Amino acid sequence: MIPFGYARASDVSDAVRQIAAEPGAKFIAGGTNLLDLMKDDVERPARLIDISRLPLTAVEETDNGGLRIGALVPNSDLAWHPLIEERYPLVGSAILAGASAQLRNMASTGGNLLQRTRCAYFYDTATPCNKRQPGSGCSAINGVNRGHAILGASEACIATHPSDMCVALIALDATVHVVGPNGPRAIAVAEFHRLPGDKPHIDTTLQPNEIVTWIELPAKGFAANYSYLKVRDRLSYAFALVSVAAALELKDGKISDTRLALGGVAHKPWRDASAEAALQGQAADEKTFAKAADVLLQHARPQTHNAFKVELARRAIVRTLTQAARGTPQSQSNKHIR
Ligand SMILES: Cc1cc2nc3c(=O)[nH]c(=O)nc-3n(C[C@H](O)[C@H](O)[C@H](O)COP(=O)(O)OP(=O)(O)OC[C@H]3O[C@@H](n4cnc5c(N)ncnc54)[C@H](O)[C@@H]3O)c2cc1C
Ligand code: SF4
């Protein structure tokens, strides 16, 4: 047993004050990732600051027609929220493709954003890992790397980001609102997660003394033409090999607006403006979708064991865009798995 302190934060300011006072401290929300990391001796926080009872549990409409989601809204509550089901079903579908019902009941929106990679070497303290111990090396590069990145990797780390929800959030241009010792600031989800570069131990642009307070979705939810497709080894309780979030706006059979994001392929949820540009103004057909997939995957660099992911991603992109165009999403109604 490795001793650690525990304190409960009374409000957001108190949480920030406590984390700023002790650099080795960590926030704990649902604990579904952090406690596993502590049990495996990957993380050793000197103190846990419990934020689970802070009043960050509201889902409410914003003045500009968007949605504001508290960082402590449980993943289940968010997926089933009437405003999500009606206006942002892409987000609900992505959340429900992740983990299990029990985990989704505990997991928080903020914790989901900050969950760490599922690279097996990261969890195995007997092996070198630059993310766990900077400078020690990357065991995956010459090891078993079937589940690893095909885009945006570095010589220091080839891990993938594990969240499903974040793939939908980046597709919909969500913003993360945070508070630190210098007050509040907003970070676009696209800028929130990092590529590994030579600092793979830093996952996000959140500072260690900042707390995520809420996430904002803009007004446009693409509720008519969307789909989230997750390809994985088992149908439930498994992380994505490849996942695709697709959203289209159609006018007279042509694509007037589009969003395309991938999970399971990079150190961050992957969105590529040039692939979306290849869809813009085009007919919503298989030829257009295949071209966009080619554009998105042109810089793919597979590892020893995961060349299959490139073709898998290509097919998943075409299929997900086809589902979105037809208005027949992969998970047409969330209610059947309630
Ligand atoms: C077996 C298993 C299978 C899973 N499968 C999937 C899956 O298929 N898809 C998927 O997307 N996820 C999956 N998950 C991950 C799950 O979604 C995450 O563990 C969960 O979302 C984390 O939320 P939490 O509230 O429990 O975070 P915690 O474990 O409490 O915290 C995680 C991290 O976030 C930090 N943190 C939490 N809240 C805040 C905040 N408000 N501000 C700043 N920092 C904060 C903590 O300090 C910690 O570093 C799986 C998890 C398990 C255990
Ligand atoms: S891929 Fe990243 S997380 Fe996995 S062993 Fe290499 S450095 Fe560690």
SS3 per residue for 183-218: EEEEEEHHHHECCCCCCCCCCECCCCCCEEEEEEEC
Per-residue pLDDT of 211-223, as tens digits, reads 999 999 999 999 9
Q: Is 314 in the pocket of ligand 2 (CB under 6 A)?
A: no
Distance 103 CA to ligand 1 centre (A): 9
- With a pLDDT cut of 90, the percent of the chain lying above it is 96
pLDDT average, residue stretch 96-100: 95
Please identify, by atom number, the ligand 2 atom nearest to the C-alpha of residue 149: 1
Distance 21 CA to ligand 1 centre (A): 24
Which pLDDT value is given to residue 332? Answer: 53
**What SS3 class is residue 169?**
helix
Per-residue pLDDT of 56-87, as tens digits, reads 999 999 999 999 999 999 999 999 999 999 99
**Does 337 or 207 have the greater pLDDT score?**
207
Confidence of residue 336 (pLDDT cuts 50, 70, 90): very low
Confidence of residue 237 (pLDDT cuts 50, 70, 90): confident
Residue with the nearest Cα to atom 2 of ligand 2?
A: 157
Distance 252 CA to ligand 1 centre (A): 42
Tell me how far apart the alpha carbons of residues 86 and 80 are, in angstroms, rounded to a whole number.
10
CA triple 209-215-221, angle to 5 deg: 160
Sign of CA dihedral 81, 83, 86, 91: negative
Distance 271 CA to ligand 2 centre (A): 22
Name the amino acid, one letter, at 99. Answer: A
DSSP 207-254: -TT-EEEEEEE-S----SSEEEEEE-SSSSS---SEEEEEEEEEETTE
**What SS3 class is residue 256?**
strand
Which pLDDT value is given to residue 21? Answer: 97
Where does residue 155 rank: exposed (0-12), middle (13-18), buried (19+ CB within 10 A)?
exposed
pTM above 0.95, yes or no: yes
Please identify, by atom number, the ligand 1 atom nearest to the C-alpha of residue 106: 26
